[in-house]
Structure 1
Amino acid sequence: MTRNIAMKILLSFLILVAVSACASRQVALVPEDKPFSARKNAEIALLYWIDSLPHVLTTGVDNLIPSPARAAAFQSALEALLRDDPGLAATAAETAGYQVVIFNFGDIRFLALADSRHPGIGPTVIVNPNARRELIAGAPHPVFEEGVDIEAGLFVTRLEARAAIIAGAHACASSVASRCATADNVCPGNGSAPVRVSDAAHNTVLLYQLAHETLAHAWPDSIVFSLRGMMRADNAIVIFSDGSRRHAGVEALPNRLRDGVAATSLSSAGKIVSCQDADDDTLARRSFCGAGNVQGRFLNGSPDACSVDASASSGRFVHLEQGGIVLARLRSAAQLNLSGSAAENLLRGIAAVIPSSEMPMASPDSASGPGQDRR
């Protein structure tokens, strides 16, 4: 699909409402040509919007840790959005320096929270009120791992996931070292120095982590994917992990996902492996298994997600490393063409393992813990 055609569709069919406590703005243009389906229009609009989100790159951005008041307002806004109450969400969002964005295509709706006070710094959260899979997608490094942000959107549109979280600032935007202990330093030239506060995958003090914990509590049956990009690891192009260092049997979720994706034609492009299968150890570098990911540590019941690896797996977290062949067609919404692509086969394999179903709305006050066993 060319950029001009996609932009015409976006302008013709998008009904986007940016809601704040003070005002609302609505654009509803009449289509000139025969429309695509509502689902296709919604996907185009959402992916173009995701592709347009700003991301702060400059080193020295050190206003990333929210005040307690801002964090509380952000959480209140997100919980209201989970109850499908965008008006109440907008009131709390304004206090947090956020805005509510609504994509409305008849029966297809997406709700989002976007940072309006410091665009490009705070995370963006997208909620799917009509989700059919117990999935949440996270993209903690959307800048230098190109394509994972659009992939998170595809989890919402193609896999009908519950929600997606996309980090704002570049992982290396801050000059402040994190207190979190992890060997997964992604900043060039940083060597063995501590990761930086701006790294959403390895810090517990950011709004990204708060969004992750809020969604995980609201949907205690959900499986959370952390979508990552990697340089080719030996001849492996996809590495699944549950964020632990354990080996497990064929019933373990990463092993089942490995087998589901390997059953597609993607297996002809390279090895699909699992960190939980001892037979894959020679292919899956242990540094790509996500043991230092704080979202995974939280879900796996670590006593301190910032500093302590989890000793076991809850079955609710999937760390997904992907080579360039998988993400290549996801680097621009304008050039998105999934037909026959590696990304399409990856999504198909995941869908075969995690079935869709009718699901209730969120229950933000749920007392269920993050580590409910889903193995």
Structure 2
Amino acid sequence: MTALAGIRVVELAGLVPGPFGCMMLADLGADVVQVSRPGPRAVPVGPLDRGRRTVTLDLKSPSGVSSLLSLVSRADVLVEGFRPGVAERLGFGPPVCTAANPGLIYARMTGWGQDGPLASRAGHDIDYIAVSGALAPLGRSGSPPPAPLNYLGDLAGGGMLLAVGVLAALVSRARSGRGQVVDAAMVDGAGLLTTFLHGAVASGLWPGPRGSNLLDGGAPFYDTYATADGGFVAVGAIEPQFYAALLAGLGLDSDPALPAQHDVSGWPELRARFAAAFATRTRDEWAEVFDGVDACVAPVLSPSEAPSHPHLKSRSSFVAVDGLTQPAPAPRFSRTPAAPPAPPVTTTVEAVLDSWS
């Protein structure tokens, strides 16, 4: 039995954050039914849709709303990602759904949240992380903050926050018998990811502007370096014993003129020395040099290379679903392990209701 076996989720298909959160719930064993609208999808079916049954409903029609409410009446969770007020206008807002099912967890995935001056405004990941303070610390000194894909807003601050909220609400319902509305906003989640940074700034551990601090590429012993073949290695040798192993691997441990690790004035020279050393070998040659050495040095792998890394292969950290290699479910459980993900399948509302009877 999986961790969320018996939990029924109705997911109103949307863009990345909601599907990612529902993918996590499905990975953990929830029975997730995705409701798609008629016509072509904005995003093609892919890994985020794994583990689902999919039905098609026109939620702008009374019959479509009626069918949705029939699913909701037997579900534990409803996930929707419309702008505030849209679900209410279409006839399936929280009052309607909780009247049909008082124990329902009504989870709302938005960028700006259900209230506030920006609640009804359009936005994307980069906007939410910009306003939350998560974007400004990223990037090199003297350069604009980069667009860091959509990891921080859509995925970590959005879909993962949604999944945590749903799980917490299910625990609360198990004690009280009552459902509730979960307001999962990407701007809140992205801000939450900066909690450590706020503490570091307040304690004086983050004194400088972007690109000049310990963990933002300012320190030469916590950065990435180009190798002879055009690849890269990542270095995270913060602690003294790891730093000593880094110097030994680079052949710099016997140089008495090398600046001290935490002498900030010497960081430019250290970076130049490290860069010159790493440029003498290929990425994979450096991986061999530091293999089995606690220097916190790792090759920078592409997403297509990662599944072949020996450590990830040994843990089966990637799986093939319908012929497509993708990350395996996480985290892992000793008693209720996740089942291998399955590709999405198309079904009907009637078939779902029969299985939920």
- Scaled by the length of structure 2, the TM-score of the pair is 0.24
TM-score, normalised to structure 1, is: 0.23
Q: Larger C-alpha radius of gyration, 1 or 2?
A: 2
